A and B are shown apart, each in its own frame.
Chain A
Amino acid sequence: MPFETLVAGCLAYVVLMFAVAFAADRAAARGRIRWLDHPLVYTLSLSVYCSAWTFYGAVGYATRSGLEFATIYLGPTIVFAGAWWGLRRLVRVARMHHVTSIADLISARFGKSNPLAALITLIAVIAATPYIALQLQSVRLSFEVFATETPNGAGLNGAAGGTALWVAAGLALFTILFGTRNLAADERHHGVVTAIALEAVVKLLAFLALGAFVVWGLADGPGDILARIDAASRDPAIAEGWILRADRWTALIVVSAAAILTLPRMFQVMVVEAADEERLHVAGWAFPAYLFAMSLFVLPIAVMGRELLPAEANPDLYMLTLPAASGQNLLAFLVFLGGFSAATSMVVVCAIALATMISNHWIVPGWLALRRRPASEETEDLRRFVLNARRLAILAVMAAGWVYHQASGGAAALAAMGLVAFTGMAQVLPAMLGGLLWRGANRRGAYAGFGSGFFLWLLLIFLPSVGIGQAPPLPATVDPLAFSIFISLSANTLAFVGFSIFGFPDPVERVQGLSFVSAVEPIRHSRMLRGEDRAEPLLAMTRRIWGGDAALEFFQQEASAQGKSGFLPDLTPKFLTRLERRLSGSVGAATAHAMIERVGGGVSLTVSDLLQVADEAQRAKEEAQRLESATTELARTATQLREANDKLTALSVQKDAFLGQISHELRTPMTSVRAFSEILKTPDLSDEERARFAGIIHDEAGRLTRLLDDLLDLSVLESGRAQLNVTAANLHDLIGRALTAASATRADRVFTVDRDMPAEHLGVITDTDRLLQVLINVISNARKYCDADRPVLKIRVRRPAAGGAQIDLIDNGSGIDGPRQSLIFEKFARLNDPARAGGAGLGLAICREIMAALGGNITYLPGQGGAAFRIDLPPRPPAIVSRGHQDAAQ
Chain B
Amino acid sequence: MPDRPLFLERASFRRRRLGDAARVLPIAATLLILVPAWWIPRSASSAGGAVWLFGLWATLIVAIWALHRALLRAEAATLRAEEAVAEAVRVRAGTATGTPAAAAPAPAAADPEGDPGAV
Contact = CB atoms under 8 A, between A and B. Distances in A.
A631 B34 CA distance: 57
B85 interface: no
Nearest to B58: A292
Given A74-B33, A284-B68, A288-B60, A95 B100 contact: no
A243 B101 contact: no
B7 interface: no
Interface string A727-743: 00000000000000000
Contact of B37 (A226, A246, A276, A282): A246
Please classify how large the interface on chain B is, using the bins under 10, 10 to 19, 20 to 34, 35 or more: 35 or more
Interface in B38-74: 38, 41-42, 44-51, 53-54, 57-58, 60-65, 67-68, 71-72
B79 interface: no
Nearest to A222: B51
A97 B114 CA distance: 12
A70 interface: yes
A118 B22 CA distance: 36
Among B22, B41, B58, B71, max chain A CB count under 10 A is at B22
Interface string A365-392: 0000000000000000000000000000
A96 B119 CA distance: 6
Contacts of A97: 118
Contacts of B114: 521
B72 A281 contact: yes
Given A83-B64, A285-B64, A631-B103, A296 B45 contact: no
Give 3 closest A-B pairs by Cβ, nearest first: A82-B26, A285-B65, A634-B100
B25 interface: yes
5 contacts: A84-B19, A244-B45, A244-B49, A521-B118, A634-B100
Nearest to A634: B100
Interface residues of A, number: 55
Nearest to B52: A67
Contacts of B45: 66-67, 233, 242-244
A578 interface: yes
Interface of A: 66-67, 70, 74, 77-86, 92, 95-98, 185-186, 226-227, 229-230, 233-234, 242-246, 249-250, 253, 276, 281-282, 284-285, 288-289, 292, 296, 299, 521, 578, 581-582, 628, 631, 634-635, 638, 642
B37 A581 contact: no
Contacts of B57: 74, 77, 288, 292
B117 A246 contact: no
B29 A276 contact: no
Interface string B8-30: 00000000000100110110011
B108 interface: no
B60 A81 contact: yes
Residues of A contacting B: mostly: helix
A230 B50 CA distance: 10
Contacts of B60: 77, 81, 288
Interface in B69-111: 71-72, 97-101, 103-104, 111
Contacts of A631: 100-101, 103-104
B38 A521 contact: no
B26 A521 contact: no
Given A67-B53, A244-B41, A92 B119 contact: yes
A86 B47 CA distance: 33
Nearest to B28: A81
Contact of A84 (B37, B67, B97, B104): B67
Nearest to B114: A521
A285 to B, nearest CB: 4
Nearest to B38: A246
B118 A638 contact: no
Nearest to B23: A85
A596 to B, nearest CB: 16
B64 A81 contact: yes
Contacts of B98: 638
B119 A67 contact: no
Nearest to B46: A233
